[in-house]
Amino acid sequence: MNLFKQEDTIVALATGNIKSALAIIRISGSIAKTIVSSVFFTKSHKPINIEDRKVYHGYICDNDKQLDEVILYYLKAPHTYTGEDTVEISTHGNPLIVQNIINLLLSKGIRPADKGEFTYRAFMNNKLDLSEAEAVNELINSSNSKSVELALNSLQGSLSNKIKDIKQDLTTLFAYLEVSLDYPQEDIDFLTREQKKESMQNIISKLNDLISSYSLSKLVTNGIKIAIVGKPNVGKSSILNSILGYQRAIVTDIAGTTTDTIEETVEYNGVSVTIIDTAGIRYHTTNTIEKIGQERSKSSIENADIILWITDSSIDFDDNDKQIANLLKDKQDKTIVVLNKSDLQQKISSKDIKDIVSTNSIINFSTVNNTPIETILNKIFELMNLTDIEERESSVLINARQYNLICKVQEHLTKILELIDKGDSDEIVSFETQNALNSLNEILGIDAKEDILHTVFSKFCVGK
Ligand SMILES: Nc1nc2c(ncn2[C@@H]2O[C@H](COP(=O)(O)OP(=O)(O)OP(=O)(O)O)[C@@H](O)[C@H]2O)c(=O)[nH]1
Ligand SMILES: [Mg+2]
């Protein structure tokens, strides 16, 4: 990215580079209006004076040649996304047309925008801080509704406000410490040791909330992975189909119907849930295909966040069930046992399950009598600590950069707390407080170094 060339006027396609009804070309910079005016004409072929915040219909022309019939508007700085003069041209969504118009604009002295350069300029012009700029990218790349919601909250300042709030608390404390350093002879303890400790503990608790929010946002971003396992013929594929709401996997009464893993993703409560149906696990098999399928089933167990162990409650446990229980012994807290076929005469109960696996997550289920599938899905959310996802704190850390910086702040503050406790001098406490403030500033991008900005904005796509 050309971090220094802010005086250039830049152009890029802001929408996808595919055939579509419309495409939007965005131009930002001081000569945006002049250049666009020189290639834009009305129906009567008259050039027009483009005014701020008005919409125009006309033609983009390369000399006498019409490139497209367009709608455009001009937004005057500073009330624009980038904070600069901006023109947006809405063309027909053919990549050839778009390229012709962009080439024409480039020939007039505008240059192509780099990745994330529009948002970079918005950041440089104080339209958003760095954490909000990151939220823009997150918003574009979110793949489920909850991620969109978290990114949107972040873009609207929920995280920034929280960081500013913590900064305010720290700055106040810092000011007290500085004053006591500046006027030591006054012999006034501006804040008692207990008061300092209390205010520091308050700040640390706010940081802890943020730190735990990161696991939520990672979960929401990556989604939850569920492996459906069990011996053959217990109803694994039937349960996959019930979750998906359509007949994705073949279901028969022949044991060993599913030979390979089947993976599908659905959205539940705004979160992506990937479900992997696996081949039934049966020991002592000699069939080569079945053996490979079962190896895959085992590796699905390894990689899953939650395991749905499906059992057929109408038949007694056998060695296969015991072997499966053994396979799950390191994952017991993440295992939900489904007593399937509860419509039939019951042979095994929750108690039998508890004898071989230590879990309280046991569900009576039947795909035949249509037990609501939410019984299983809600249990999954309960085990993932996602039941109150709707009410969760809206300020969350949305990426590793923010998380690492908050951890750094927490380290400084924990150290400060120790120093205060030991009655160490305000001078060292003040030094550590300044370090913590620096890390908080880094989250917001205050005094950010060029390499940090480069790393953040290079993750963007061109046109944003
Ligand atoms: N009565 C009853 N039958 C069920 C239930 N769930 C599934 N079945 C039947 O059990 C048989 C096996 O179902 P599947 O879903 O193919 O079982 P699976 O565990 O995927 O079997 P494999 O792929 O062979 O490992 C089919 O005949 C289903 O119709 C249930 O809740 N009650
Ligand atoms: Mg199956």
**Which CATH number characterizes residue 262's domain?**
3.40.50.300
Q: What is the pLDDT of residue 448?
A: 84
Residue 291 CA to ligand 2 center (angstroms) comes to 15
Residue 261 domain-assigned (yes or no): yes
Q: Which atom of ligand 1 is nearest to the CA of 240?
A: 15
Residue 421 domain-assigned (yes or no): yes
Asked if 201 and 227 sit in the same domain, the reply is no
Residue finishing a domain among 363, 383, 403:
383
Q: What is the pTM (predicted TM-score) of this model?
A: 0.81
Residue finishing a domain among 361, 383, 405:
383
Asked if 373 and 267 sit in the same domain, the reply is yes
Q: What is the pLDDT of residues 231-272, one digit of tens each?
A: 999 999 999 999 999 999 999 999 989 988 999 999 998 899
Our count of domains for the chain comes to 3
Q: Which atom of ligand 1 is nearest to the CA of 371?
A: 31
Residue 32, classed as helix, strand or coil, is helix
Protein residue with its CA nearest to atom 11 in ligand 1:
253
Q: What is the pLDDT of residue 37?
A: 95
* Spatial distance between the Cα atoms of 114 and 112, rounded to a whole number of angstroms: 6
DSSP 8-state class, residue 313: T
Contact at 8 Å (CB) between 289 and 297? no
Nearest to 122 by CA among 113, 132, 114, 109: 132
Q: What is the pLDDT of residue 453?
A: 87
DSSP 8-state class, residue 269: T
Report angle CA 57, 59, 63 to the nearest 5 degrees.
Answer: 155
Higher pLDDT: 78 or 49? It is 78
Asked if 404 and 324 sit in the same domain, the reply is no
Residue 391 confidence (pLDDT) above 90: no
Residue 414 domain-assigned (yes or no): yes
Residue 260 domain-assigned (yes or no): yes
Asked if 165 and 252 sit in the same domain, the reply is no
Nearest to 411 by CA among 441, 386, 447, 440: 440
Band (pLDDT 50/70/90 cuts) for residue 1 is low
Q: Which atom of ligand 1 is nearest to the CA of 230?
A: 19
Residue 198 domain-assigned (yes or no): yes
Q: What is the pLDDT of residue 188?
A: 56
Compute CA distances 65 → 46, 78, 97, 108, whole Å: 14, 34, 12, 16
Give the ranges where 233-373 is alpha helix by DSSP (H). 236-244, 288-303, 319-327, 350-356
Q: Which domain does 214 fall in, by range? A: 138-218+395-457
Q: What is the pLDDT of residues 153-190, one digit of tens each?
A: 999 999 999 999 999 999 988 888 777 666 666 655 56
Q: Are strands 306-312 and 86-93 parallel, antiparallel or unpaired?
A: unpaired
Q: Which residues surround ligand 2, an ion (CB under 5 A)?
A: 236-237, 257-258
Residue 254 CA to ligand 1 center (angstroms) comes to 9
Q: Which atom of ligand 1 is nearest to the CA of 251?
A: 16
Tell me the best of 239, 251, 282 to mutate to test the pocket of ligand 1, counting ligand atoms within 8 Å of each CB and taking the most.
Answer: 251
Q: What is the pLDDT of residues 357-375, one digit of tens each?
A: 888 899 999 999 989 999 9
Pocket lined around ligand 1, Cβ cut-off 6 Å: 230, 232-238, 251-253, 255-258, 280, 340-341, 343-344, 366-368
Nearest to 297 by CA among 249, 262, 338: 262
Q: What is the pLDDT of residue 3?
A: 59
Residue 250 domain-assigned (yes or no): yes
What is the CATH number for 437? 1.20.120.430
Mean pLDDT of 12-31: 96
Q: What percentage of the chain reaches a pLDDT higher than 90?
A: 65
Asked if 227 and 214 sit in the same domain, the reply is no
Contact at 8 Å (CB) between 102 and 61? no
Residue 320 CA to ligand 2 center (angstroms) comes to 16
Residue finishing a domain among 128, 153, 176:
128
Tokens 């050309």 appear where?
2
Q: What is the pLDDT of residues 58-98, one digit of tens each?
A: 999 999 899 999 999 999 999 999 999 999 999 999 999 99
Q: What is the pLDDT of residue 291?
A: 74
Q: What is the pLDDT of residue 185?
A: 62
What is the CATH number for 92? 3.30.1360.120
Q: What is the pLDDT of residue 184?
A: 60
Residue 364 CA to ligand 1 center (angstroms) comes to 15
Give the ranges where 264-399 is alpha helix by DSSP (H). 288-303, 319-327, 350-356, 374-383
Q: What is the pLDDT of residue 288?
A: 80
Asked if 242 and 356 sit in the same domain, the reply is yes
Asked if 213 and 231 sit in the same domain, the reply is no
In 165-305, DSSP assigns E strands to: 224-229, 262-268, 271-277
Asked if 326 and 422 sit in the same domain, the reply is no
Of the ranges 180-184, 391-395, 432-436, which one carries the lowest mean pLDDT score? Answer: 180-184
Residue 459 confidence (pLDDT) above 90: no
Asked if 362 and 256 sit in the same domain, the reply is yes
* Spatial distance between the Cα atoms of 282 and 257, rounded to a whole number of angstroms: 13
Residue 293 confidence (pLDDT) above 80: no
Residue 32 domain-assigned (yes or no): yes
Residue 226 CA to ligand 2 center (angstroms) comes to 15
